[in-house]
Amino acid sequence: MSKPVIKESSMDLQKEMLARHFEKLAVSEENGDKCAYTFVPGNLAELLHCFDLLPVLPEINALQSAMRNKSADYIAAAEKEGHSEDVCTYVKCDLGMAKNGNIGPTGTRLPKPSVLLLSYTGCFTFMKWFEILKQEYDCPIVMLHVPYQADGKPTAEMRRYIVKQLQEKVIPVLEEVSGKKFDIDRLRQLMASSARSEDNFVKVMESAKQTPSPIDGYFGGVYYISPIFTAFRGTPEAETYYEALLAEVNDRAARKLGPLTPEGPMKEEKYRIVVEGPPNWTHFRELWKMFSDEGAVAVASTYTRVGGVYDFGFRHDPDNPLESLADYCLGCYTNLNLPTRTDMISKYVEEYQADGFLINSVKSCNSFSAGQLLILREVEQRTGVPGGFFESDLVDPRYFSAANIKNRLESYFQMIEQKRNAVSAL
Amino acid sequence: MDCCTGIDLGSTTTKAVVMDMDGRLLGKGITNSRSNYDIACAVAKSEALINARFALFTHELDELGLEDEVKNRFIKDLQRNFRLEQHLIQQRCLEEEFTHVLSDPRYDEERDLLTSNVSNVLQGMLEEIPLLFAPGIPARSDFFRDIATGGYMKRAQGRKCSGGDFDQLMSLFDKSIIRVENREIDLSFSNNIMPALERVYSEDEELWAKHKDPLRDRVLKVAGIEINELNTVGTGYGRSKLPFRKDQIRSEILCHGLGAHWMFPNTTTVLDIGGQDTKAIQIDNQGIVTSFQMNDRCAAGCGRYLGYIADEMNLGLHELGPLAQTSKRKVKISSTCTVFAGAELRDRMTLGDKREDILAGLHRAMMLRAMSLLARSGGIAEEFTFTGGVAKNVASVAALKHLVKENYGERTINISPDSIYTGAIGAAIFAARSITALDEVAA
Amino acid sequence: MAETKADMIDLAEEIVRDLELGTVSKWKEKTGGKAVGCMPVWSPRELLHAAGILPVGIVGGGDGIEIIKGDAYFQSYICQIPRSTIEMGLNGNLSPLDGMIFPSICDVIRNLSGMWKMLFPKTPAWYLDMPQSFDEIGVDFFTHELKRLFGEFCRVSGQNPDNDSINRSIAIYNENRSLIEELYQKRRERPWCFPVSEGYLLIRAGYQIDVKEHNKMLRSYIDLAAASDCKAIDNARVVVLGSFCEQPPLNLIRTIEKSGCYVVEDDFTLGARLIKGEISTTGDAIENLARAFIEQSREAAFIYRESEKGGELVEKVKKCNAEGVVCCAPSFCDPALLDQPMMVAAIEKASIPYTSFKYAENTGQFQVIREQAGTFADSIKLWS
C-alpha cells in the first residue's frame, strides 16, 4: 500500500468536479445527453458547452489509465490487434481501454461518442487516432484542421481557414448532433468566463517566479492545468477552482513556503528547473519524488502550455469569439515551430531564474521529441544554463527505467551543485 | 599516514583506490562485483590498501641499497606468494562452504557420492594451487572466482566417468562460490604477509640468506604503518546501494570527469564506455563537468554488446579486438542493437563474410554510436580521454581514433593503462576535497 | 543519353546513389538556375519549375551514408530519414540547394522544418501546410498557401513568370505523371519486362534531373523495355504499401522481387504520382494546382480520410489483379504504422492476403525479409 498523498484543498475541489463530470457521462445515455470525443490541444470546450455536449478526452483517459496501472494491459491488447509497438501509446492505451469495456478513470463506463470532434492541433497522430476511432464508432466525425505556425506567427489566412471550417463544418455538425441552434451570445458568455479563469491560471503559474517558488510548475502544474485544459474551461466551476487555487498559492507564497508534493511539503529549494516535454504517467509520483528528494522544483514547463499558451497575453475574447478560438488553436505549444519553442524555453529559464532545464524525451510523442536535442543545445548556448536529458514514455511502463533516470537526474543535479561551488570558490 | 579512498561500484567490477592527502595515488584494487555490494567494496578496498602497502614497501626497499635485479625479484616473489596465501585462505573457505552446502537435507540420499566426488575435486585443486603461483607462471586472473571455476570445472568434468553428475557438481560449486564471495575473509596485508615472506625465503634459501633480517624488518615496518582512512566516497552504477552516507556518494559522471582530469589535466572531453552504459562528458580546466550525455535506455554499443558478440562467436572477450584488427575488408554493419546482434551475425556468417571482417564492422558501428553521443554532448574541442573497459579493446580504439580524426581533425587521444580506475580516482579526490573543505571551515 | 536499357538503369542508379547531387550542380552550372530540395512526400514542383527552379527530391541518404552527426540530433525511437538528411546537410552534400520544402506529412518532418531554420539559417526552409479540409475551404486555403510559396520561389530565382508559364509547367508535369502511369500500366501487364527495381530507379532519377529530360528518359525506357525479350515466371502479384517517405534500400526492393513477387503497384515514389490524372492547364494555374491536390489526391496515410479507409487500396488490388499486399513501412514511421491496422482491416474484409515487415533506409539485412516475402509468395501461389 502506498503512502497517503498529501493534498491541497483545491485538489479536493478538482476531484469533486471530475467526479461530477464522469458521473454525468456515466448516465448520459439514460438522460439523453450527448457527448463529444475531442482532444486537449486546441479543444473547443466553449463551443461544446454551447451545444450542451459533454467532452470526453481520450488522452486524459489514457493518462488516467496509466496512473491506475492499467495502461500496460491496454497497450498489450492494442498491440495484439496489430497496432505497431513503434507508435504513440496514448492511442494504444485508449483503444485497449475501449476494448475492455471503456471504463473511465472513476470506474464508471464512458458513453460512446455522439460525435468525434477532431480539432487537431500540433500533432498528426490525433488525426490518425480519430480515423481509427471512426472505424469503431458509427457516429458523425468532423475535423478542424489547424495550420502549423511554421514561421513563428499566425497569419490572417490561417485564421480565416479555421473560422471558415468552424462556420461551415464544425458548427453545423454540432448543431445537428445536439439538435440545438448555435447561439453566439452564449459562446461570448462562456468565453468571458474562460478569460477570467485564464487570468487566475496565469497568476498561479507565474507565482513560480518567486523564490522559493510556492508551486511546482510541472508535476504540480499538471493538476493546475487540468480544469482549464479539459472539460471545464468556460464554466463557473472552473472560475471557482482557479480563485481558490490562487488564494492557496498566494497564501503559501506569503509564508515563503515551497510547493506541496505528494510526500509532503517540499523542504529546501535547491534547484530551480524548467522542464520541456510531457510527464511520464506510469511513474508520475516516483519521478516527482526524484526531483523533490534532491530539492529540485520545476518553476516552469512547456507541457503546461500544450492546452493553450496564456502567459504571453492570449485570452479567449468574447468580442471576437470565432477568431479567438482560431488563435487559441494556433497558439498551443506543440503547434509552435522549433525556433519559437527554443525562444520560449530560454525566456522561461531567464524569467524564472532557473538553474537548469531538463528535457523529458518521450518515446510516444514525436511532436514534442523530434528536435529536442537541438533545443537542448540552443538553450544551453543562449542562457549559459546547463541542460539535461532523460527518456521515458507517456503511458508505457516498459519505457520507464527508474535506475537509469535516477542516475541521470542525480548526476545532473550534482553537476549544477559542483558548478555552483566552483563559481563561489572563485 | 592519512589517506582517502574512492570506490567505483560497476556492473561487472568494483574498483577502489587509495590516495594520500596531497592527491598522490597510493594503491588500487579491483574485484568482481557481486550480490553483496558491501563485500565487493570491502574486497576492492582491501586490495587497494594491500597495493598501497606494496608501494610503500617498494619505497622502503630503495633505502636498503639492494641491486635493482634483486630488489625487483624480491618484490615480485613476495607479491606472488602473497597472492598464493590469499588464494589458499579462500580455497579453505570454499571447502568449508561445500561442507555447509552439502549438509542440506536435499542431498541426504546422494551425499556420500557427492562428498567423495567433491573432495576428490577439491584435493586436486589444492594440489594444483602452488603450481598456479609458481615462479614464471603468468597470472591468469586476479579473481579467485575465475581461477577456482576453471580448476573445478576441469576436474568435475573428469568425474563424469566415475558416475558423478557434472551439472549437479557445478550447481554445488555455484552455491558454494557465491557463499565464499559474500563472506568476509581476512585477506589483509598484515595478516598474510609473514607466511608469504617465509615462502619467499624457502623458495631460494641461498639467495635470501644474507638479506633475511633487514627485509623482514622492512616488511614488519610497512605492515605496522597505520593507514588512516579519513574519508571515502563511492560512485558507480550501484552507488545507491553503497554502504555510505548520501554526502559520501557522487555520480559517476562527476567522478569520471574529475578522474580523467587528474590523469590528463588538459582533457576537455571524456568518453567512457562501460559494460552497461556509454557516457560522453565535457569538463572544464578544473575537471568540473559542464555537460554530459548518456546512451539511450538500450545497451546498444556498450561493453555488454561485445560480450554478446563474443558469446555468439565462441570467443573470449579479449580476443575480439585483435581478431578484428586482422581484417582487410570490413563489413558494413548498421545495427548495434544487442537484441539483433546474434541474428545479424549468423546472417553475415551464412553469407560467407569472414569473422574478422564482421568484427571490424561491428567495432566501427559501435564507435559510430559513441561518436554521436560525443557530438550530442558538444563534440571534441581539444584533448580527449577514453576510459572504461572498452578502452582496452584495440579495435575499438583504432576505430575511434580514425573517426575522431575524420570528424574533428587531429586531436590528442589519451588512454591510460589505469583507465578502469578513472571513476574511483575521481571519487577519492572528492573524498579528499571534502576533508580539506572541512578543515578550511574549521580554520 | 544512354542507348541501351541496361545503360539507362545504370545511369539512373548512379544518379540515385549520388548523394553529392552532381546532376543538380551540373544543371545549375548549365542553366544558371536555382535548385530547391523537396522532402517527401509531395511538393508543388510545377511552381518551382515555372519559377525557373529545379525541384530536387530529397529522400534521405539511403544506405549510402554513415550517420554520426544526424544521430546526435535524434533519439533512437525516431525514424532514419531526418538523421541522414541532417547528416547530408551538415556534410555539405546539400549545398547545391537554394531552399528546402518540408511538407506537412508527420510531426518529424514538420519539426525538421524548424530545425533546418536553426541549423541552416542562410537557406530558406519552407513548411508546406497541406490542407486536411478536402473541400472548397481547403482549396481556398491551399491556393493562398501555394501563392505565398510561389512568391518565395520567385524571390529566390529572381524570375517573375506569368500564369501561362505556370500552366505550361503543369502541362510538362502532366506528361511526366502520365508517363509514370504508363510505366506502371505496362508493369501490371507484363511485370517480367518491367521489373519494379528498374522502374523505381527510373522514377527516382527524376527527383534529381530536369523534368523534360526525365520525360525523355521514361519514354525511351518504356519503349526499350517493351521491346525487350523477357520470360514470364509464375510469380505472385503484390501491392507494396507504406514506403512513401523514408525509402527502402534498393536491395530490399530487389529482394522482394527476387523472392517471387511481382510488385504491380507500390507507393515508393508516391510524391511523383500523388495527383491522379491531368491537372487543368487553363485558368488560374495555382488554384488549379490547389484544387487538384484537394480533388485528385490518392489515398495516403498523411491525408485525412473520414470513412472507407482502405477502400482505394482494395480497389487498386483488384484493378491490378494483385493477389496480395505487402505492408512494408519504415520503423517508427507514424503515418504508415498508424494507418496500417486500418488498411489491414480493409484488405482482410476483402479476403486479400497480406504480410508485413518494417525496414530502415540503411537496413543491410534481407535474409528475414527474403524468407518472409518468399513464403508469402509461395503461399499465394499454393492457394490461388
Please tell me what DSSP assigns to residue B18: E
Q: Which amino acid is at A167?
A: Q
What is the pTM (predicted TM-score) of this model?
Answer: 0.90
Give the strands of the sheet with C53-57, arranged side by side: C53-57, C34-38, C100-103, C125-128
Position B32 confidence tier, pLDDT thresholds 50, 70, 90:
confident
**CA dist., res. C300 & res. C4, Å (int):** 35
Spell out the domains of chain C, with CATH numbers in brackets.
Answer: 21-159 (3.40.50.11890)
Grid coordinates of A230:
479539459
A286 close to C (CB below 8 A) = no
Grid coordinates of A396:
508505457
Touching partners of B (3+ C-beta pairs < 8 Å) = A, C
Shortest CA gap B301–chain A (Å): 16
B291 close to C (CB below 8 A) = no
Q: Of A131, A161, A168, which has the smallest distance from its Cβ to C141's Cβ?
A: A161
Indicate the range of A163-177, B6-20, C321-335 predicted with least confidence.
B6-20
CB contact residues (below 8 A), chain A span 113-142, against chain C:
120, 123-125, 127-129, 131-132, 134-135, 141
**What confidence tens digit (pLDDT) does each residue in A119-174 have?**
888 899 999 999 999 999 999 999 999 999 999 999 999 999 999 999 999 999 99
Indicate the range of A320-329, A362-371, B160-169 predicted with least confidence.
B160-169
**What confidence tens digit (pLDDT) does each residue in C200-243 have?**
999 999 999 999 999 999 999 999 999 988 889 889 999 999 99
Which residues in chain A have Cβ-Cβ distances shorter than 8 Å to B251? 407, 410-411, 414-415
Could B254 and A399 be called an inter-chain contact, meaning their C-beta atoms sit closer than 8 Å? no
B375 close to C (CB below 8 A) = yes
Q: Of A386, A401, A411, which has the smallest distance from its Cβ to B254's Cβ?
A: A411
- % residues pLDDT > 90 (chain A): 89
pLDDT higher than 70, residue B164? no
Could A404 and B297 be called an inter-chain contact, meaning their C-beta atoms sit closer than 8 Å? yes
Spell out the domains of chain B, with CATH numbers in brackets.
Answer: 265-415 (3.30.420.40)
Q: What is the pLDDT of residue B344?
A: 73
**CA dist., res. C126 & res. C222, Å (int):** 35
Q: What is the pLDDT of residue B312?
A: 82
**What confidence tens digit (pLDDT) does each residue in A302-331 have?**
999 999 999 999 999 999 999 999 999 999
pLDDT higher than 50, residue A238? yes
Could C364 and B332 be called an inter-chain contact, meaning their C-beta atoms sit closer than 8 Å? yes
Could C68 and B403 be called an inter-chain contact, meaning their C-beta atoms sit closer than 8 Å? yes
Which residues in chain A have Cβ-Cβ distances shorter than 8 Å to C115? 338, 371, 374
Residue of A nearest to B294 (CA): A408
Could C365 and B347 be called an inter-chain contact, meaning their C-beta atoms sit closer than 8 Å? yes
**Residue recorded with cell 559501435:** B366
Q: Of A373, A403, A414, which has the smallest distance from its Cβ to B254's Cβ?
A: A414
Taking residues A31-45, report their average pLDDT.
Answer: 95
pLDDT higher than 60, residue C1? no
**What confidence tens digit (pLDDT) does each residue in C8-67 have?**
999 999 999 999 999 999 999 999 999 999 999 999 999 999 999 999 999 999 988 988
Better pLDDT: B190 or A210: A210
Position A267 confidence tier, pLDDT thresholds 50, 70, 90:
confident
Taking residues A274-280, report their average pLDDT.
Answer: 97
Q: What is the 3-state secondary structure (H, E, C) of chain C?
A: CCCCHHHHHHHHHHHHHCCCCHHHHHHHHHHCCEEEEECCCCCCHHHHHHCCEEEEECCCCCCCCCCCHHHHHCCCCCCCHHHHHHHHHHHCCCCCCCCEEEECCCHHHHHHHHHHHHHCCCCCEEEECCCCCCCHHHHHHHHHHHHHHHHHHHHHHCCCCCHHHHHHHHHHHHHHHHHHHHHHHHHHHCCCCCCHHHHHHHHHHCCCCCHHHHHHHHHHHHHHHHHCCCCCCCCEEEEEECCCCCCCCHHHHHHHHHCCEEEEECCCCHHHHCECCCCCCCCCHHHHHHHHHHHHECCCCCCCCCCCCCHHHHHHHHHCCCCEEEEEEECCCHHHHHHHHHHHHHHHHCCCCEEEEEECCCCCCCHHHHHHHHHHHHHHHHHC
Could A124 and C111 be called an inter-chain contact, meaning their C-beta atoms sit closer than 8 Å? no
Question: In which element (H, E) is residue B27 found?
Answer: strand B25-32
Taking residues B211-232, report their average pLDDT.
Answer: 90
Q: Which of C73, C76, C372 to mutate to test the interface with B (most CBs of B within 10 A)?
A: C76
Which residues in chain C have Cβ-Cβ distances shorter than 8 Å to B350? 367
Grid coordinates of B115:
562428498
What number is the ipTM of this complex? 0.96
Position B331 confidence tier, pLDDT thresholds 50, 70, 90:
confident
Taking residues B273-283, report their average pLDDT.
Answer: 88
Better pLDDT: B164 or B69: B69
Q: Of C78, C127, C341, which has the smallest distance from its Cβ to A81's Cβ?
A: C341
Could A124 and C127 be called an inter-chain contact, meaning their C-beta atoms sit closer than 8 Å? no
Which residues in chain C have Cβ-Cβ distances shorter than 8 Å to B373? 72
Q: What is the pLDDT of residue B13?
A: 87
Q: Report chain C's terminal Cα–Cα distance, integer Å.
A: 43
- Range with top average pLDDT, A99-113, B320-334, B357-371, C143-157: C143-157
Burial class (CB in 10 A: 0-12, 13-18, 19+), B215: buried
Q: What angle in degrees, to the nearest 10, is found between the helix axes of B166-181 and B68-102? A: 120
Q: Of C78, C118, C358, which has the smallest distance from its Cβ to A378's Cβ?
A: C118
- Range with top average pLDDT, A132-136, C103-107, C305-309: C103-107
CB contact residues (below 8 A), chain C span 65-124, against chain B:
66-73, 75-76
Size of interface A-C (CB pairs under 8 A): 153
Which residues in chain C have Cβ-Cβ distances shorter than 8 Å to A91? 338
Could C368 and B300 be called an inter-chain contact, meaning their C-beta atoms sit closer than 8 Å? no
A87 close to C (CB below 8 A) = yes
B296 close to C (CB below 8 A) = yes
Q: What is the pLDDT of residue B298?
A: 60
Could B344 and C362 be called an inter-chain contact, meaning their C-beta atoms sit closer than 8 Å? no
Q: What is the mean pLDDT of chain C?
A: 95
Could C72 and B300 be called an inter-chain contact, meaning their C-beta atoms sit closer than 8 Å? no
